[in-house]
Structure 1
Amino acid sequence: MTTATPDRLDRAVLKLAAVLVLGALAPLLDSTIVTVAIHTLGAELHAPVSTVQWVSTAYLLALAMAIPITGWSANRFGAKRMWIVALALFLAGSMLCGVAWNIGSLIAFRVIQGIGGGLMLPILQTILLRAAGRERIGRLMAVVTLPALIGPILGPVIGGLLVGHLSWRWIFYVNAPICILAIVLAIRTLKPDPEPAAAALDVPGLLLISPALAGIIYGLTQVGTHGGFGHVAVLVPIGAGLILLLAFILRRSPLIDLTLFRTRSFAASTALLFLTGFGLYGAMLLLPLFYQQARGETVTAAGLLLVPQGIGSLLARVAGGLTDRFGPRPVVLAGLALTTLGTIPFAFAGTSYALLAIALVIRGAGLSAVNLAVMVGAFRELDPQHIPDASSTTRIMQQLGGAFGAATLAVILQNQLTGHQAPDAYAHSFAWAIGFTVIATIPALFLPKRRALE
């Protein structure tokens, strides 16, 4: 592979990134579209809210359980093959969801979707990081993370249009053209896989880590339902998950290479990925609810009011090049500062819509810069053979951090709503989110600050 300059991604890598990003767009759009349609699904399938929530919960649990196997499967069968398998599973799950005849069948088919979605992002990262090289990871991440930005912008709008003008089944059928095109392009564009490794799957390790993640995340999803962490429906699955996770660590399973944590930049990055789930991604739960409950907006209007955050994220794409040039640490710290600055107006009741829109642009830019730079910090000092394991591990930390963050802020919000009016309750909750963001600066100080040696 040749490049025109050492600071630019060559055309072949950009083409590869475009093909993979197209496929990753399907699950990211799907998540936001389904969230918008939850109420409609309950009405159409005659199911109570407690049951309909499993449409999202089953998907999330299946996604989490699939992540640990991605590193092994990419090494054993080849990343290209597994990427196509992941797309095919997501496509099959989408089509089956579209023909679901009741809420039970829909929930079951969402599991198939979740397995495909769980495999996708770690395999995508593995393929691209192997192709681009460590010195241009920042620029590469600026391309790879585009679906994560486009999904929240387009998802609520597309979901609203589909639910409002077509059958609910089209929220799943809409994935078909994306997945089919992504599979065709992957077959034509991705290079053949090298000779696969012959490592056997550590089944006992898998039987520990996958249920561990499912138990922890399921318990966290019950926090909001039961009003806190002290309920047995929360403590039992989280406790069981933590015990299984400890057993997995003590087993030293080859399924995930825990020696990666000996690399300081990787350890700091994964810790930061977890902590940012509280202040950065946990606050994502508050934002749409804030506009609906504290400002009285409709679901569609709330989605449109959040568009400035997506615009800010797109503007922050330059953070990829800055990270390659100056290292992850200064970019992450600057991003955390911007995120804090963009969240402060939400901590005051009565802030004008215009100021909130400007704040969302700033917050989106900071959030995007942190996301880009922390992923660079995770991968830039690792050898290529460690990329599959690192991709799985970072994805796990993102899922756990986001789940813990959402659960924690949900409890804070519920407690605030019991004693305050909605505007004041949300102001206090956002103040907590700011505090969590500030705490995230601690592991950020351990990230590399200079460009890695080439």
Structure 2
Amino acid sequence: MSQAPTTSANKIDGAVLKIAGVIVLGAIMSILDITVVSVALPTFQDAFGASYATVAWTMTAYTLALATVIPLTGWAADRFGTKRLYMIALALFTIGSGLCATADSIEQLIAFRVLQGLGGGMLMPLGMTILTRAAGPDRIGRLMAILGIPMLLGPIGGPILGGWLIDVASWHWIFLINLPIGLAALVYARFALPKDSPEPSESFDFVGMLMLSPGLALFLFGVSTIPEEGTFAATRVWAPMLVGAALVVGFVVYSFKPRHPLLDLRLFANRNLTVASVSMFVFIVAFMGAGLLFPSYFLQVRGESTLHAGLLIAPQGIGAMITMPIAGMLADKIPVGRTVPFALALIATGFWTFTQVEADTSYVVLCGSLFVMGLGMGGTMMPIMTSALKTLTSHDVARGSTLLNIIQQVGSSVGAAVMSVVLTSKLNESPQIPGAVNPATGEPITEAGLAIGAQQNPDLLKLFPVDQAFIDNALDFVADAFASTFTVAFGIVLLTFIPVAFLPRKREVSHLLDDQDKDAAPPVMIH
């Protein structure tokens, strides 16, 4: 067991900040890589001559790899030690990034994205475990706020970075940029993280793994296919979702039998963890769904480039950076049930503007609303996670971190799918242009589809005898479709107030040190 020097319980010393730096580097790579690739899909279509449905697998494969490996992380952290496993995850992600840049077919790229996802899936739960143990009970809020920066800024910075790299270089650089960061993080981790002393191995739950990992992967595959199919009724959607859900339910029933299940659902006996998990899931569904809609509005309705769309969303990140350190300090001193509702109210206030959005809404108003939302986001998600982990014992932190990351991953996929389906269904209500057919798909072209395409490629208008008034009316329809979809997301934000009302409003008693020497200083790292 490695221990921190005897210092004030409330002081974050240099050793702990070094550990936080390693974790943030890994989190930045893992989270940015999801959103950076999202803006490169059209480029992949051109580079590999593949359909959109095929290149979308570069994102789906990464997500499924995450879902498969996350449940294994809690057991592996106890078995092999968090430092050793974290460095393995960094190496896998970095090697996968380098291989992605060398891909000369879409099939190779998808396969290498799986390797990336296997490493990336372990980085976040391991990072949360390491930070929670490093912080001790009195500093966890501030250090979790540090970890929250890449989690909130990834969806904002990804499109900016991806658009810029593709514009000035090539798609290869969205992967190559991870190589120097990954190598630096590996060296940094080697010296900054204390030495591991793994515990005697608990028996591995093979039965649980055969149910949970494939179950999550199948369920998320079905969910991720919804935007492509445009309906829940498609066999490619409901069949894997049904089988995956059945496997997950089977695991839930089974998990209470073994002494050491792959995912310890007994942790939900902790009221704070349960309330925080429900709050986080509902919030993530709204946040991740809206996170996709904001850049899409600027791209499809306003005709902005990917880079400009990312820059227009930046005020949200600025707002989050302002409040996140403050929220972290408050989470160490004030019960989160007294602060999170106010932060959530800021999100709802900023979100309301987008339920009324039009094709010519002022950028000042939109950016101001995003800034207000950012202020609220900085004080919401990480304090909720802090509340969940703070009352776990040190031994349970790895399992609790794994549980929260699975909830976050499922919530992200559900949010993205739901909002995509709502928006698509609204846009499909647009009238078709008589005789106009998309040569690539053979499907009829709608007025809304033509208007969206013309925003990015004005030459399309040469193929159709329509005037600017026609396009303006169609864009009004598209903007209304976005407003309706934002209204759904806004409703989910309001629903979040229900579980948030049950967050602790009294000072919590931390159990982080319960299974350690009570006379010892707060640990920097266990095993």
Structure 2: 5+ residue stretches without partners: 431-476, 511-527
For 1:267 and 1:453, the matched residues in 2 are separated by 16
Q: Say if 1:349 and 1:128 are closer, same or farther in 2 by CA, change over 3 A.
A: closer
2:299 to 292, 301, 304: 292
For 1:37 and 1:412, the matched residues in 2 are separated by 23
Is residue 2:321 matched to residue 1:309?
A: no
Cα displacement (A) at 1:104? 0.5
| Amino acid in the other structure paired with 2:503 | L
Look up the match of 1:442. Answer: 498
The TM-score with structure 1 as length reference comes to 0.97
Q: How is 1:264-413 mapped onto 2 (pairs within 5 angstroms)?
A: 264-317=271-324, 318-350=326-358, 351-413=361-423
2:63 to 55, 60, 63: 60
Cα displacement (A) at 1:280? 2.0
Contact 1:84 1:186 in 2 (8 A): yes
Deviations 1:416-451 (A, max 9, x none): 223361111111111111111111111112211233
For 1:451 and 1:321, the matched residues in 2 are separated by 14
Query: What CA RMSD, in Å, does the superposition of the two structures yield over aligned residues?
Result: 1.5
2:158 to 150, 155, 159: 155
Contact 1:339 1:364 in 2 (8 A): yes
Contact 2:322 2:375 in 1 (8 A): yes
For 1:46 and 1:33, the matched residues in 2 are separated by 20
Cα displacement (A) at 1:370? 1.1
Is residue 2:28 matched to residue 1:20?
A: no
For 1:402 and 1:157, the matched residues in 2 are separated by 20
Deviations 1:77-106 (A, max 9, x none): 000000000000001111111111211011
For 1:96 and 1:196, the matched residues in 2 are separated by 34
Cα displacement (A) at 1:69? 0.4
2:49 to 46, 49, 52: 46
Higher helix share: 1
Higher Rg of the two aligned structures: 2
Cα displacement (A) at 1:158? 2.3
Cα displacement (A) at 1:392? 0.5
Look up the match of 2:174. Answer: 171
Look up the match of 1:104. Answer: 107
For 2:276 and 2:87, the matched residues in 1 are separated by 29
Contact 2:132 2:144 in 1 (8 A): no
| Amino acid in the other structure paired with 2:297 | F
Q: For structure 1, which segment, 114-123 or 437-446, has the greater mean C-alpha deviation from structure 2 after superposition?
A: 437-446
Deviations 1:94-145 (A, max 9, x none): 1111111211011001100000000101011111111111222211111111
Deviations 1:171-230 (A, max 9, x none): 111100001010011111111112333112211211111111111111111111122222
| Amino acid in the other structure paired with 1:347 | T
Q: How is 1:100-249 mapped onto 2 (pairs within 5 angstroms)?
A: 100-249=103-252
For 1:397 and 1:286, the matched residues in 2 are separated by 21
| Amino acid in the other structure paired with 2:128 | Q
| Amino acid in the other structure paired with 1:103 | I
The TM-score with structure 2 as length reference comes to 0.84
Deviations 1:379-421 (A, max 9, x none): 1111111001001000000011111111112222122223361
| Amino acid in the other structure paired with 2:316 | Q
Contact 2:160 2:306 in 1 (8 A): no
Contact 2:232 2:238 in 1 (8 A): yes
Look up the match of 1:415. Answer: 425
Q: How is 1:62-81 mapped onto 2 (pairs within 5 angstroms)?
A: 62-81=65-84
For 1:12 and 1:437, the matched residues in 2 are separated by 38
Look up the match of 1:89. Answer: 92
Look up the match of 2:485. Answer: 429
Cα displacement (A) at 1:3? 6.2
For 1:293 and 1:167, the matched residues in 2 are separated by 23
For 1:2 and 1:335, the matched residues in 2 are separated by 35
Q: For structure 1, which segment, 44-53 or 190-199, has the greater mean C-alpha deviation from structure 2 after superposition?
A: 190-199
Same amino acid, percent of matched pairs? 41
Contact 1:134 1:379 in 2 (8 A): no
Q: Secondary structure at the match of 1:316?
A: helix
For 2:200 and 2:502, the matched residues in 1 are separated by 34
Q: How is 1:253-264 mapped onto 2 (pairs within 5 angstroms)?
A: 254-264=261-271
Look up the match of 2:40. Answer: 37
| Amino acid in the other structure paired with 1:333 | P
Q: Say if 1:3 and 1:289 are closer, same or farther in 2 by CA, change over 3 A.
A: farther
Q: Say if 1:412 and 1:291 are closer, same or farther in 2 by CA, change over 3 A.
A: same
Cα displacement (A) at 1:321? 1.1
| Amino acid in the other structure paired with 1:423 | A
| Amino acid in the other structure paired with 1:447 | L
